[in-house]
Structure 1
Amino acid sequence: MALIPYDDAALGGMQKLHKSFSTYCFANHTIQIQQKWKQLGVAAVVWDAAVVLCTFLEMGGIDLQGRLVIELGAGTGLLGIVATLLGAHVTITDRKAALALLESNVRANLPVDLQPRAAVKELTWGQNLASFSSGTYDFVLGADIVYLEETFGDLLQTLDHLCSDKTVILLSCRLRYERDQKFLKMLNELFSVHEVHYDPSNDVHIFKAQRNVQKGDL
């Protein structure tokens, strides 16, 4: 997730982004997320797309128990925390500048016995991918990570590296601009992409993607 500070005047009605903490309840746990908008910008607040994907996972249509999961652009860590609480072994990633806040939120919200199942790790898309096992993850999660067109190529390279034919990608996003649709078209060149959920109250879509073995693998 890019680190972009914003002026207060640009926030409009999004006063929830000003709050130092935001509280949620998932997997029978109260989760209190520290936010630092003024210091780190978009990487340091909880966006609706993360909450919607957490809710989708908690609904139980996807079994995360014992699964290997990696989250991209984790920001504050809410999604990775919830995935861990739901039974997954999660690698929670973001750029270096976001890691201190991310680590703090993860450790503050996971019971001690579950903390070994969550690893916080630096990942800048497209860089040092060899430090992440290729094709070993059951799920790749991302919430509101599709918004900067200059990162699309690196994000696709990262997804291509991480995924096997069996890996499931779940991307939660609000389709704000034409470039967001452009990314979905680019993603569809490597993976079969389907919308699996839409939350009209938040205008958030969840897309499921898996490698399309018919394109070059058969």
Structure 2
Amino acid sequence: MTTVEGLDRSSDEALEGICKSSAIIYENKYEFCRYSLKIARFINANLGFSAYVWEAGVTLCRYFEKEKISFTGKKVIELGSGTGIVGILATLLGGDVTMTDKPNILNQIENNVSINIPTACRHRIKVRALTWGKNHTDFPTVYDFILGSDIVYSSVAYPALIETLRYLARQGATIYLSSELRKSNGSPSFHEVLLPRYFNCQIVDRLEGKDVIVYKMSKIGTTPDDPLPSQE
């Protein structure tokens, strides 16, 4: 049976989809850049790690706030969107955002989009399935920004993640990757050894007292601040 706590539904379709599921829904509220976000999490819906708002995602949102980053007029893709908190904020900050995750996660993302994104802005946000290393070539390479928060959690997925990042960033995208470093999954080595083989990596923020670090990256051989070339 579904339990809904304090959700403000702007879409009958979203509510109908929730009622057909066996998920227990919890809502968390966040404040970033003067926006109030209500992020619903589908617990017991077999979403695994994707049913949680991780500190790495909150830290990346706080970084956008501290740096007064605007995505107005920019094309943005988010990998492993999960609850959608980062991609939703990027949309509210003006971006033309494509939020991606595995197919079974998309309902949760779409629900949070319906809660947080005004109807007038919906044309600037897309939700699509993307499995790293498999269907990334179905996407264009004209993005200005690539975002990811706490997506470095399984060493098995690291080669596919690298392949996907290299493909999407080949025309000079700026990558913001926010990660909690955990020795148990080899993520320190991923960031310190593997990523620098393919990307220029700079630490731009960290969560005090935690091993949560925000990296600003660009593919080696590209200049992220240059205008993007047109895609042939």
Q: TM-score, normalised by structure 2?
A: 0.80
Structure 1: which 4+ aligned runs deviate by more than 4 Å? none
Q: Write out per-residue CA displacement over residues 152-198 of structure 1, whole angstroms, 9 at most, x where no aligned residue.
A: 00000100110135211111011111610221121111111111111
Alpha carbon RMSD of aligned pairs, Å? 1.7
Tell me the equivalent position of 1:98. 105
Once the two structures are overlaid, the 10-residue window that deviates more, 195-204 or 147-156, is 195-204
Which one-letter code corresponds to 1:72 in the other structure? L
Q: Residue 52 of structure 1: which of 41, 52, 59 is its match?
A: 59
Q: Residue 220 of structure 2: which of 204, 212, 216 is its match?
A: 212
Aligned length: 196
CA distance in 2, matches of 1:19, 1:100: 12
Tell me the equivalent position of 1:75. 82
Shift of 1:90: 0.5
Does the C-alpha gap of structure 1 residues 31 and 114 become closer, same or farther in structure 2, counting only changes over 3 Å? same
Which protein is bigger by CA-based radius of gyration?
Answer: 2
Which one-letter code corresponds to 1:86 in the other structure? L
Once the two structures are overlaid, the 10-residue window that deviates more, 178-187 or 156-165, is 178-187
Which one-letter code corresponds to 2:34 in the other structure? N
Which one-letter code corresponds to 1:48 in the other structure? E
Asked if structure 2 preserves the Cα contact closer than 8 Å seen for 1:125 and 1:158, the reply is yes
Shift of 1:130: 2.3
CA distance in 2, matches of 1:60, 1:84: 16
Where structure 2 has 5 or more consecutive residues not aligned to the other structure, the ranges are: 1-23, 223-232
Tell me the equivalent position of 1:113. 120
Asked if structure 2 preserves the Cα contact closer than 8 Å seen for 1:173 and 1:205, the reply is yes
Shift of 1:140: 0.5
Where structure 1 has 5 or more consecutive residues not aligned to the other structure, the ranges are: 1-17
Shift of 1:115: 1.1
1:28 aligns with 2:25: no
Tell me the equivalent position of 1:199. 207
Tell me the equivalent position of 2:156. 150
Asked if structure 2 preserves the Cα contact closer than 8 Å seen for 1:48 and 1:202, the reply is no
CA distance in 2, matches of 1:207, 1:149: 19
The SS at the match of 1:164 is: coil
The SS at the match of 1:210 is: strand
Asked if structure 2 preserves the Cα contact closer than 8 Å seen for 1:165 and 1:212, the reply is no
CA distance in 2, matches of 1:144, 1:117: 24
How do 1:139-178 residues align onto structure 2 when only pairs under 5 Å count? 139-177=145-183
CA distance in 2, matches of 1:113, 1:155: 33
1:86 aligns with 2:93: yes
CA distance in 2, matches of 1:181, 1:169: 18
